[in-house]
Structure 1
Amino acid sequence: MSMSSTIKDVAKHAGVSVATVSRVLNNLPGYSEETKRKVEQAVKELGYQPNAIARGLVNKRTQTIGVLFPSVSSSFSSEILHGIEDVAQNHNYSIIVCNTAEDGKRTMKYLQVLREKRVDGIIFSSGVLEPEYYEAVQAMDVPLVLVATQSEFDGAPYVKVDDRKAAYDAACYLIRRGHREIAMIGGGESDLIAGRPRYEGFRQALRDHGLPLREDHVLDGGFTFEGGCRAAERLLTAAPEVTAVFAAGDEMAIAVISMAAKLGIAVPGRLSVIGYDNLKLAEMSNPPLTTVAQPLQEMGRLASEKLIAMLDNGETAFSEIVPHRVIERQTVKQRSL
């Protein structure tokens, strides 16, 4: 029999009404053991697969989770997604991934799509959880977990590293290796999630070590390779005294290395570089990039576990700050003091 047998075919085959088949499939009362056996036999013989959405309408669950990323193509998002999917698969949930491209209209449109698909819960990654997004999710009445971002809203537990502390540690790492003229290329002050806290951590580290902070040594690379290249070119041509750069994202760090190569500046001979994230990219760069790691897959796993615990056991989920660490490779060298 074809996979496309309908509930009508099952009813006919078992010699009962469609309503009875539906009751048996949804474990509702009102039929004999004999009838139940007949229906189950018919389902088996016809290879009938109840439609997941139709099933979901009855038990109000579709075993799907919506995941929103500002940029799905980035290796950052794909690492987090790995972790989310691992856990989801083990608990028989499937994932619908939405690429919001940091665009509010698109985010609202996707939330509407997820509502129509009756997802059981939502994981929101990276961007700012705007009030209108939060309200839309509240209206859907499904649980929400944030990953690699946080918000002030109730009932939106998050999983992330302490960005400020991670940036602080990256700067301290450079200072401990004898660097005094240190620059930073970040993601922009207006980005309150991954932008500003990393600048704050960087500035704090310099202050705590009594180092001068020159604002022309703090640039915005917009978290992209292209933006990183533009910022690095400005910095390296205008500030030859800089001996080390903290880039608040690995793509921007690799942009610094590549711009240094163009300008004939040896890394780490004349310029040390430390990145942020520990993307796969970091091992592929030349030389391999020293960076502050976020445990991205683990963060995805935790977010997924929290959401599914809320769904399956009605548990309250709590926010979690996960540990970061410096991964030493070959782009930072000790300066003799």
Structure 2
Amino acid sequence: MDARPPLRSQEGFGTIQEIGYRVTMNSQSKPTLVDVAQAAGVSRSTASNVFAHPQRVRPAIRQRVEEAARSLGYLGPDPRGGRLRAGKFNALGFIIPGTYGLVNLIESPYGRELILGLSDACDAAGVSLTLVDGGGEQANTAVANALVDGFVLTNTRDPGLARTMAQRALPFTIIDMPAAPEFPSVGIDAHGGALEAARHLLAQGHRRFAIVSVRHEPGPAIVHPPGRGRRLHDAFPLDEAKLRGYAEALAEAGLSIDDMSIVESVPWDPEIGSAILEAAPDATALLVMSDRQALTVLREARKRGIAVPGALSIVGFDGVPEGAHASPRLTTVVQPIREKARLAAAMVLGLEPHARHILPARLHIRGSSGPAPA
């Protein structure tokens, strides 16, 4: 029991505690502003002013309304209501790519860098970051109902998501996907980075290659043996651009990508090392489209006693911090992941002018690549 003496309203409604008890007992929902006004013996508008414009209310009445609110457990107006009326939520929505889901996004070194870049812009703008599930049948509903002021979208095959965002008339930017000229977007020179990676290995004397590509739908690794007319089962435009870069460099050296094994896997697949090493046992060089996969292959090679780079060179793509601490340190194509995300978010939030940006991707040579074995 509350030991304080009961506070009576001037209009004769009884004690605040008594009325709070009756309101609570008569309602299964949380107390509302109307309940507080009734308990304090004031109008709804007066109670509203206590929370929104306290300077407009006499101290004695303000104190009575605050006492009523505390007694009822009322924490204040739902901020969504005011934001809905104002059309402003002070939040940016990031649509999680593909069908990866929240756990895989956060576990991914690449995903972590994306979130950090988005957060950089959100902190600068003083807004929150909302993660929106972009996979499955619920994706369009999630986008339609998200309490945000704009979106950043990356790597999706669902054209309905863009339509839903357009119907909401909210600003959005696109990362790593083709976009119409009127849409702000941020991408990387994936073709150029992949071209540089393959040329580096060719200059080291390598002629027997294999490729690891990124699969964007859950499932086991897909092995594409050498052959003409192959197509990746589950590639986004970014992956196709990397593949074209690899193919161009190989062609410059008189080699054909059709003669190279390709394995597609989700980035978190622990078996990708086994899959690529068994699909291409004679390869002396691996071109891997993500650092997370490259690091898994590196661990598997070490487990099998395969010397890197003595017997096998590995080049990744992304430039995540973990690559610099691997043993040996990972040679990789570094893209500005965090800046890419920051720039995309900043355009939505009005911190940067709308534009189409292509950021560089550059090879960083470290310890996981070297001359081809004799």
Same topology, TM > 0.5: yes
> Cα offset for 1:290?
1.0
- Distance in structure 2 (CA, Å) of the matches to 1:263 and 1:257: 10
Are the counterparts in 2 of residues 159 and 299 from structure 1 also a CA contact under 8 Å? yes
Deviates more, 1:41-50 or 1:263-272: 41-50
Q: 1:17 to 1:196 in 2, by over 3 A?
A: same
Q: Secondary structure at 2:177's aligned position in 1?
A: coil
| Greater Cα radius of gyration, structure 1 or 2 | 2
**Cα displacement (A) at 1:171:** 0.9
Q: Deviations over 1:279-299 (max 9, x none)?
A: 233134322211111211111
TM-align CA RMSD: 3.4
Q: Report the alpha carbon displacement of residue 141 of structure 1 after superposing the two structures with TM.
A: 1.7
How do residues 109-188 of structure 1 correspond to structure 2 at under 5 angstroms?
Answer: 109-112=141-144, 115=145, 117-125=146-154, 127-147=155-175, 149-153=176-180, 155-187=182-214
C-alpha spacing 1:258/1:133, structure 2 compared with 1 (3 Å): same
> Could you report, residue by residue, the CA deviation over 1:57-100 in whole angstroms, capped at 9, with x for unpaired residues?
22110111111113323221111101111221231211111344
Deviations 1:217-257 (A, max 9, x none): 140232424352243223342xx2x3211111112212332
Determine if contact 1:277/1:291 at 8 Å carries over to the other structure. yes
The 1-side partners of 2:109 and 2:42 are apart by 53
Query: Does structure 2 retain, via aligned residues, the 8 Å contact 1:245–1:271?
Result: yes
Q: CA deviation at 1:176?
A: 2.7
1:158 and 1:298 map into 2 onto residues whose CA distance is 13
Task: Return the match for 2:242 from 198, 222, 235.
Answer: 198
- The answer to whether 1:55 aligns with 2:82 is yes
Local SS of the residue matching 1:317: coil
How far apart, in 2, do the equivalents of 1:217 and 1:329 lie? 24
Q: CA offsets, 1:103-157, max 9 Å, x none?
A: 3314224224xx2x431111113x225221111111222111122x213346542
Report the counterpart of residue 18 of structure 1 in structure 2.
44
Out of 238, 258, 262, which is 1:215 matched to?
258
Does residue 107 (structure 1) correspond to residue 139 (structure 2)? The answer is: yes
Deviation at 1:37? 8.1
1:266 CA displacement: 0.8
* Structure 2 residue ranges without an equivalent (≥5): 1-29, 216-231
SS at match of 1:183: strand
- Structure 2 distance, partners of 1:99, 1:217, is 36
CA distance in 1, matches of 2:165, 2:152: 11
Shift of 1:306: 0.7
Q: What stretches of structure 1 move > 6 A for 4+ residues in a row?
A: 9-16, 23-27, 36-48
- Residue in 2 that maps onto 1:30: none
1:194 aligned counterpart, secondary structure: helix
Give 1:163 shift.
Answer: 1.4
Q: In 2, Cα distance between the equivalents of 1:44 and 1:323?
A: 57
Task: Check whether the contact 1:180–1:211 (CA below 8 A) recurs between aligned residues.
Answer: no
- 1:327 counterpart letter in structure 2: H
Q: Give the residue type in structure 2 aligned to 1:331.
A: S
- The 2-side partners of 1:13 and 1:61 are apart by 31
TM-score by length of 2: 0.72
Matched with 2:341 is 300
Q: Given residue 356 of structure 2, which amino acid in structure 1 is its aligned partner? A: S
- 2:158 maps to a residue whose letter is E
Q: Deviations over 1:181-204 (max 9, x none)?
A: 333222262413232111111001
Moved more, 198-207 or 166-175: 166-175
